[in-house]
Structures are given as C-alpha cells and as structure tokens.
Structure 1
C-alpha cells in the first residue's frame, strides 16, 4: 500500500473513531447521529437488501456514465472540428448545463417512467456535460503554431485531431471522467429518491418515510463505499493510460 493510500485509510479510521466517540460520549439519539457501530450492525442485518440495491444503483450509474462519457467526448470533438456549429450551439448547451440535474429529474421521470431508463438518462446528462467541458477545454489547449506546422506538412483536420489534439486533451478528459464517477452515483441516488422500483435512493426514501434514520445512514455508508471504489478504479486506469502526466 502506498503512503498516500495509507494516509487516506488512517484518516478515515480516525474520523470513524471520532464519530463513534462523539455519538456515544454525548449519548446522541439515533435520529441525530447514530454511532458507527450501530450503522455497521444495521448494514450487516440488511446486507442482502443493501447488496441488491447497491447493484441496482451501480448498474444505473455505470450505464449512464458510459453513455455520458462517449457523448461528451464525441460532441466536444465534433464542435472542435466545426467552429461555426460550436458558436451556435454553445449558448444553448451552457443554458441547459446551468440547470441542476435534480431539476430535470421530474421531467425525465415523466418522459421515461420510474424505471431504470430515467436514472440512466439523468446520469448521462450530468456526466456528459462534465466530460464535454473537460474535453473541449483540453482540445483548445493545443498550441496554434504546432497546428500550423502540421498543416504545412500536409496534415488534415482528422490527422491533427488524432495525432495532436486528442493526446493533448487526454489528461483533462481523464480528470473529467474521474470527477464524474462520484457525480454519477449522486445523480442516480437522487433520481431514485424521486421515484424508483429499487436502489439505494429508494431505500433512503423508504427509511425516511418510516423514520428509520439508522437505515438511512446504512444506505449512505454503502453509497459512499461504492463512490470511493468507483473513483479509485477510474483513477487507477487514468494513471496507467495517462502515464506521462
């Protein structure tokens, strides 16, 4: 284990110990702040339900994440190759992006229903814009003099894109994809809370209705573990692919 990972584990352990001490030392009620041991016990008791819900939410997040990444990178590449189209579309795209995804969720539920399709669409929308802006910024980082030099040797737009612009943009694209991992799970859970047949968001909503706040914390803990694992996986892939960074 690297020093960085070890510091992260120790930091989380210290936080959990402090949390346990505060909750037990001040005898806080469960609806205010349950102890870590109480939450872990709840996770163990509901492990089958939480595992099923976690797979459901993760499937939505992964599908939306993949669609959003492909769409975001594809649109960024298209607009970088067609400046007139970019000037016409950017104001509309920024206007759409300025509205929080949670505000679009009721419309997506109305259009696509409370099934998995609306959750995938919401995640794809959130991830797509994040990756799109990162990719577009990366494609714009290319030195214009280098582009002019390649053109002088007969390189066309697609050759310049493949050999120069995409490699230059890759670090920013990877950063956008890494940041989007957490956002994908957040959006999936929030959309599930507005209407779903399953998932961690649905469990959180049902637990709040039943005033079972320990179950709320249990679902949040599982969601946090999924986010950290997803973030770490994409970060590891990024370090291998963008090795020169």
Structure 2
C-alpha cells in the first residue's frame, strides 16, 4: 500500500488528463464528422494549428494578461486579508467594513469597468485595479471566516496567560484561519484571470482579451478559440500551482 501523500493528487491529474483527451477527441470528431464551419465550432486540430502559427502574438498577449492578473491577485489578496485582520484586531470595525464590502460586491465587477478605465486609463493599471477589487472580496470573506472559527474558550485561555490580541492572532487565529485563507487564494486564481480578460475586452492596449476582441471584429473565430485555449492553460496552471502550495502548507488537511 502506497504511503506517498501525493498519490491521490497524481490520480486526480491522470483522470483530468484522460478526460481532457476524450473531450478533445469527441470535439474533433464532431467538428470533422458534421463538417461544421469554423465560425460555429472549429476543430481542435485547427485551433492548435492557429496557436502554433500565431504563437508569438499569443504568447506576448498571454504575458501581458498574466502580469495584470498576478499583480491584481497579489494586491487583492493583501487588501482582503488586511481588512479581515483589522476587524479581528479591532472588532468595532466590523460594523463599518462588512456592510461596505457587501455593498461593493453586490454590484457585478464588470459594472465598475467604465469608471476604472476612466480613472486609471487603458493601460495595465486599470486591469490590475479591477482584478484586485474582484479578488479582495473573496479573500476578505474567506479570511474573516477563518479568523472567526477560533474557539472562544481557547482565546480566553490565552488571555488568562496574559496574551495580547496580536499574540492571540499569531499563535491561535492565524494557524486556524490558514486553511480558509489558502482556499480563498485558490478560488481567486480563476477569477483574477477572468476579470483581467473581460476588462481587456472593454479597452486595452494588449492582452488576451484584446486579442479576442480584435478577432471578433474581423470575424476570425479560430483566433478567438486559440486565445481561449491559451487562457485556459494559464488558468489551470495558476490554479494547480496554488493548490500545490495549499497542500504543502496545510499538510494536515
């Protein structure tokens, strides 16, 4: 019997790869067998061929989008965790921060795009801000839920030994909240890339969203699918990397 802790993950990855291969084979068969036009559903082989011929432009666009997503992700994670920490250390802030966060999140993030583009311009800054807004709420909710999971009896015990709020946070609340924080970081990976691409489609100087927008304008749907494939690979890789970090850090789960 194997004792390798990574064995279940390898099985999951293997099943995922097998499922992807079967899906692409079915896709290729339907597109070729039904002789579907490219604007309806291009064959996988046609999309892969376009990725290869346009690899320079697509990789450049992917790097642009990844930069926006990663910087916005890091900024949003810091803001969300920071707000949760502030509430934990100063409980009176909960009545101010939580309603404000809920009010902002009640509006779709895309609705803020025109204002963000107006304030920060068409460059990378506006996309970074949009991603940060989207990620910060997810991180805030997950972090706050993690900090609130602490047993009050344990808090009272540490206080009886003279522990300060900062000491309780470091020794008790943070270790308890770590699984929830990392889960929020994992869930935010996909959201960060989606928001970056959608915002690029509304106005940008580069990126996968801009490539998709330009391809739609000239009715080049194979190029659209090529950009979508690249975005999917980036998203899955980012998700898998954060999941790996989560398994390494929160090894007891």
TM-score (norm. length: structure 1): 0.98
Aligned partner of 1:6 in structure 2 is 14
Structure 1 unaligned residues grouped into runs of 5+: none
Q: Show the counterpart of 1:225.
A: 233
Which of 198, 202, 223 is residue 190 of structure 1 equivalent to? 198
Give me the whole-angstrom Cα distance separating, in 1, the residues matched to 2:40 and 2:175: 50
Question: 1:181-232: CA deviations, max 9, x gaps?
Answer: 1100000000000000000000000000000000000000000000001011
Q: 1:132-143 to 2 correspondence within 5 Å?
A: 132-143=140-151
Q: 1:62 aligns with which of 70, 78, 82?
A: 70
Corresponding position of 1:153? 161
Q: Deviations along 1:98-117, whole A, 9 cap, x unmatched?
A: 11111111110010000000
Gaps of 5+ in 2: 1-6
Instruction: Give the ranges of 4+ consecutive aligned residues of structure 1 lying more than 4 Å apart after TM superposition.
Output: none
Task: Provide the alpha-carbon RMSD of the alignment.
Answer: 0.8
- Higher alpha-carbon deviation: 36-45 or 78-87: 78-87
2:139 to 102, 108, 131: 131
Q: Is 2:66 the counterpart of 1:51?
A: no
**1:149-188 → structure 2 map (5 Å cutoff):** 149-188=157-196
* Structure 2 CA distance for aligned equivalents of residues 106 and 99 of structure 1: 13
Deviations 1:122-150 (A, max 9, x none): 00111111111000000000001111111
**Which residue, out of 117, 138, 157, partners 1:109?**
117
**Alignment: residue pair count:** 245
Shift of 1:89: 2.3
After superposition, what is the alpha-carbon deviation per residue over 1:129-185, rounded to whole angstroms, capped at 9, x for unaligned?
Answer: 111100000000000111111111111100000000010000000000001011000
Task: Name the SS of the counterpart of 1:196 in structure 2.
Answer: coil
- Structure-1 separation of matches of 2:29 and 2:113: 39
Secondary structure of 1:163's partner? helix
